[in-house]
Structure 1
Amino acid sequence: MGAGGAFAHTRGHSRPPRDCRLPSGLAPVAASDADHALRRELYFFTLYRLLEAALLALLVFGPAQVLISAPTLPLLARGVVLGYMLAAMLLFVSGRRGELHTQALIGIVVDLAAGILALHALPAAGTGIALMLVFNVGAAALLLRMRYGLGMAGVAVALILGEYVYSEFFAGGSNRVLGEPAMFALGFMAIATLTSLLGREMRASAALAERRGAEAANYAEINELIIRRMRTGVLLVDGEGRLRLANEAAMLLLGEAGEHSDQAHRNLSIAAPELARRLGRWRADGVPDESPLQMAGDQPEVVPRFTRLLAGSDQTLIFLDDTSLVSRRAESITLAALGRFSASLAHEIRNPLAAISYAVQLLEESRDIAVADRRLLEIVRQQGTRMNGIVENVLGMARREPAKPEHVDLVGFTRQFVDEYNTSHPIEQDSLRATGTQPRLAALVDPRQLHQALTVLVHNALTYGRMPGLPARVTVHVYPDANAVPVIDVLDRGPGIPEAVAARLFRPFFTTSSHGTGLGLYIARELCRANQASLDYVPMPGGGGCFRIQLAGANAMLPA
């Protein structure tokens, strides 16, 4: 694939992708290979016509008259030769333009007319003229479609036989025998049939080659697009360590070095010194260093892999595998395994939890329990409730129940949610309230799943969204954005979340607390996605944090 193909030159940014069509919708081409081949044959045919006209002019006007007898019709001979010479030059000039079949058809008509008239005016050179016409008939049959080629051969046969009949019976007779024009007539038909078949096969072969070439070009476009858009970075480095080609992912992983256009940054040892060192070691001993490598401060770590472009070549392909992709694959595998495991384990955990909870309730009702021991029972009950919540989170992640969207008034829903949360979760000195900019705001969402997601967000805000020594102040605010999209903000007045932590907030099992599972925000985002909604963390300029849910409007359509 060429330098401008699937890769981009490292002198600048990668160029935008070209339009890529599948073979079933091949892109049109300006001129087919068959047309090019036939146009070339037409060019040589017009050159041959000029040669014929020159030979006839030599016979009529030149010293070649001493070799043959004088024309029987000198005036006709001179007029035919001059007219044929003029027509041959015009056809030669116009042969590179115009419709090919029309040019060939006009040419053979001119050839037959001039040839038969010349044969009649120069009977001494009739055999030679008829032989030259054999090539004209064959060339025309090659260039024209079969029915036209054979038709022109038939016209030639009729003309040569007609000229013989006219000469014998109306022009005083000739020295030729009937076998001569008959043999030429047979030759015309034979050569026309042979070259017509040859031309048809040539056009079919050229058309097939054109289709195959167009398919290959489209497949090359597809490969180019795939390589350019693939998440794995690909670099081509020559034997002197210069960056020759790079795809978009590699340019991004190189960071600022990939954007410079000067000659120095095209050298791998300057653009990525550690990668150049590993490449040199691999070339020396063939042992790759597959430990993670960070080529730019703001880019993820990559694992480089090296391979020669061709056997014995000094050019090397470097594949840069993003470790974050590998870690996400590992996370997905872990989540899938956890889902299957949790489904079977939940029943075994819930049974003893239910028994413990029931036993604690009975003990709390007993009058023989001391006051100090009742505090221990409360701790057991709280921890049992916490453990049951962990099981519910894991089961919620494993089940991935589909959303059942309904038209919901978000203002009334959030107010009811806040009232229920304040009733069932004593928050003591903290505060939780619901606000809105409009009396009603409709959205299409599964209320059960939205309730679960808000529970996670509010619990996190009340737990972590507070300044040291101060009570938490949490607000659930409902409003439409500039595009009339329903939005729910869960706001707190805490210290906010550092940028490095915010980038990993929604990753499963990520938590900054020793008591958390790291699944709450992940499950909340998955629940929002199931409802065609988004959940993001938005830092607040004046301090505090904001988790924003953007929902589908009341008229939105959810996939079945």
Structure 2
Amino acid sequence: MQEASRRNRAPSRLLKLYSSYRLFLSALLLWLGHLDSSAIYFDDSDSGLFSTTAAAYLIASLLNLPLFQLLRWRPNETLLFAMLLVDVVAINLMLYSSGGMAGSMGYLLMVTVAASGTFLKTRLALSIAAIASFIPVSIAMSEFLFSDGGQTEAVRSGVFGILLFATAAIFIYLTKRLTLVQALAESESRAATRLQHINDLVFNKMLTGIIVFDSDFCIEQLNERASLLLGPSDSQKLLARHDSLDQVSELLTYYHDWKANPQRQLPTFLCKNSDIPLQISFSEIHSNSVVDTILFIEDARTLSQHAQQLKNSSLGALTSSIAHEIRNPLGAISHAAQLLQESQLDQADQQLVDVVLRHSSRMDNLVQDILQLSRQQAPQISVTNIFANCMLSKTQVQESNLFNNPQIEIDASAQSVNAPFDSSQLQQVLVNLISNALRHSEKKTGQPWVAIRFDYQTDMNLAMLKIYDRGEGVSDANKNKIFEPFFTTEKQGLGLGLYIARELCEINFATLSYVYKSSSEGYFKIVFSDPAKLLPRNAENEQDRSDR
């Protein structure tokens, strides 16, 4: 079956070459037949039969060309056999008319037999060889038996027939071997192409960004994740293959630091065009005299989540001890102060009791916040509607009655914005940020006000949430401290609200930052992660819930 398929699809290049050879040969033989000196080349020749056969052979060669062109040089086996049969008959007639085996025309049959071994199946190729040898052998034998033909001519024709069969056998064998090699090469090529496609798919879908660059910092290969994590370059386009790594000049500094000390842990990298903290590492590939470098780019928030879980585990053990060692005595102090408050005390003593109660309450709130931080569980991340969570957070703030007629403006044009986040933890973050904005607006203007706006980080198509207020803003001295634990500018604050909010964002693969423009202008910004990239564990949980 494979041989038949191969023979039916004769290689077009070889067929074109052989067709050109037939056309050239027939024209040459016709020209030689009309030369005055043809008798020198063809002893005992019948010039009329020779010229007529050569002319017919030329016409047949010319007719084959448009026919094969029409068939896109993929003729069936019948046409190929007919073409080769015409060649055998024509050459044998010209061989007979030019003096038989004594001339050199017989060697042209070997080319035709070799072509049959290439284009036809084994049986048909041997048939062409048999026909090509039968005609001269039968003529020589008939002349030997029935006329005055010599024995030498008969032996010569027999040897020539053996050579034709040997030629056919050799080319049949070589063609089979070449076919097997070609089939193996095509199979390996298909397998390599398939593996390359799989590698490209895996390479581009990896959550780790990878960039391969040469000694001139020309990018030889990179995946989609690397382009997205780094964001647009100075030319406002994502990095692509054949770009220069110089477009992100900060990475060159990291590279030189790594070359100086390969064992050093590089600090977190924050690209100026992206809000995602990145962990950078390098590795070299040595191939002969060529050295390429691989740049690995990882979202540092993934590592932060694991570190946060370890930190929460340790903090949980510590705060359980705090709850036992502090809350019980604190409760006793608070209870004793309440009893004293109910007694008949003068004004000075009453003020001292109020101080004790106020600070006892503050300490109790501090312990409560630390316990809340330590008891945080792993988030149940799912794709949730951001607008709906904002509305729920707005309701919670309004129902808390902490502010008088708070004005909470939420952008209603983005009701379809979705992002992966634990819904309850997102509401906790939003309540904290909204309350913080209302408090600072009221402090400056007397009116609690906050505005929530939606936007997209266009280069990575990530949803963003911006929270504005009308407060005093953050001073230059405090802009790098606002997310530190226990840092606060309020007399009654504990300084854990923004710290907890950022921690919650990080374990949900989001980023909370403060965009600082001036001391009186700025806003908090949450950049959510890609909805298409859920954690595998959470994706399985989502599937389980949908199945149920």
Map of 1:39 onto structure 2 = 13
Map of 1:109 onto structure 2 = 85
Q: In the alignment, which of 26, 47, 50 is matched to residue 77 of structure 1?
A: 50
Map of 1:493 onto structure 2 = 470
Q: Measure the CA separation in 2 of the matches of 1:419 and 1:523.
A: 25
Identity of aligned residues (%): 15
Q: In the alignment, which of 92, 110, 125 is matched to residue 101 of structure 2?
A: 125
- Paired residues of 2:337 and 2:357 also in contact (CA < 8 A): yes
Equivalences for 1:190-205 in 2 at 5 Å? 190-205=166-181
Q: In the alignment, which of 381, 386, 401 is matched to residue 380 of structure 2?
A: 401
Cα displacement (A) at 1:151: 0.8
Structure scoring higher RCO (CA < 8 A, sep ≥ 6) equals 1
Q: In the alignment, which of 374, 394, 406 is matched to residue 432 of structure 1?
A: 406
Cα displacement (A) at 1:95: 9.0
Cα pair distance change 1:549/1:202, threshold 3 Å: closer
| SS of equivalent to 1:493 | coil
- Paired residues of 2:245 and 2:252 also in contact (CA < 8 A): no
| Pair 1:418-2:397 in alignment | yes
Equivalences for 1:481-560 in 2 at 5 Å? 492-496=469-473, 513=488, 515-517=494-496, 518-523=498-503, 525=505, 545=523, 560=546
Cα displacement (A) at 1:516: 3.0
Q: In the alignment, which of 443, 448, 451 is matched to residue 473 of structure 1?
A: 448
Map of 1:338 onto structure 2 = 311
Q: Measure the CA separation in 2 of the matches of 1:478 and 1:167.
A: 103
- Paired residues of 1:60 and 1:77 also in contact (CA < 8 A): no
Equivalences for 1:285-304 in 2 at 5 Å? none
Q: Measure the CA separation in 2 of the matches of 1:128 and 1:47.
A: 17
Map of 2:37 onto structure 1 = 63
Q: Measure the CA separation in 1 of the matches of 2:386 and 2:317.
A: 35
Q: Measure the CA separation in 1 of the matches of 2:89 and 2:29.
A: 16
Cα displacement (A) at 1:141: 1.5
1:341 alignment partner AA: S
Map of 2:328 onto structure 1 = 355
Map of 1:453 onto structure 2 = 429
Deviation string 1:15-71 (CA, Å, 9 cap, x unpaired) is xxxxxxxxxxxxxxxxxxxx9987258526844874586468647746353465423
- Paired residues of 1:410 and 1:443 also in contact (CA < 8 A): no
1:205 alignment partner AA: V
- Superposed CA RMSD in Å reads 6.4
Map of 1:386 onto structure 2 = 366
1:203 alignment partner AA: T
| Pair 1:99-2:73 in alignment | yes
Equivalences for 1:134-213 in 2 at 5 Å? 134-142=110-118, 144-145=119-120, 147=121, 150-158=123-131, 160-161=133-134, 173=146, 175=149, 187-213=163-189
| SS of equivalent to 2:176 | helix
Cα displacement (A) at 1:521: 2.4
Cα displacement (A) at 1:499: 11
Give the TM-score normalised by the residue count of structure 1. 0.60
Q: Measure the CA separation in 1 of the matches of 2:417 and 2:292.
A: 51
2:472 alignment partner AA: P
Deviation string 1:228-250 (CA, Å, 9 cap, x unpaired) is 99846665446xxxx66677779
Equivalences for 1:251-266 in 2 at 5 Å? none
Q: Measure the CA separation in 2 of the matches of 1:62 and 1:544.
A: 105
- Paired residues of 1:465 and 1:545 also in contact (CA < 8 A): no
Equivalences for 1:220-239 in 2 at 5 Å? 231=209, 235-237=213-215
Q: Measure the CA separation in 2 of the matches of 1:309 and 1:380.
A: 66
Q: Measure the CA separation in 2 of the matches of 1:111 and 1:408.
A: 83
Cα displacement (A) at 1:171: 13
Cα pair distance change 1:431/1:411, threshold 3 Å: same
Deviation string 1:190-234 (CA, Å, 9 cap, x unpaired) is 433331231132133234334545665777788889599984666
Cα pair distance change 1:317/1:504, threshold 3 Å: farther
Cα pair distance change 1:126/1:535, threshold 3 Å: farther
Cα displacement (A) at 1:272: 6.9
Q: Measure the CA separation in 2 of the matches of 1:130 and 1:410.
A: 94
- Paired residues of 1:235 and 1:317 also in contact (CA < 8 A): yes
Deviation string 1:106-164 (CA, Å, 9 cap, x unpaired) is 6523311312322443453377444431331122312x25x2x5314314424653676
Q: Measure the CA separation in 1 of the matches of 2:171 and 2:26.
A: 20
Cα pair distance change 1:421/1:360, threshold 3 Å: farther
Q: Measure the CA separation in 1 of the matches of 2:385 and 2:440.
A: 32
2:380 alignment partner AA: E
Cα pair distance change 1:105/1:403, threshold 3 Å: same
In structure 2, runs of 5+ residues without a counterpart are 1-8, 238-242, 344-348, 457-462, 529-538
Deviation string 1:384-417 (CA, Å, 9 cap, x unpaired) is 2222213213432x42235697999879845652
- Paired residues of 1:490 and 1:547 also in contact (CA < 8 A): yes
| SS of equivalent to 2:472 | coil
Cα displacement (A) at 1:548: 7.8
Q: Measure the CA separation in 2 of the matches of 1:497 and 1:55.
A: 100
Q: Measure the CA separation in 1 of the matches of 2:209 and 2:422.
A: 35
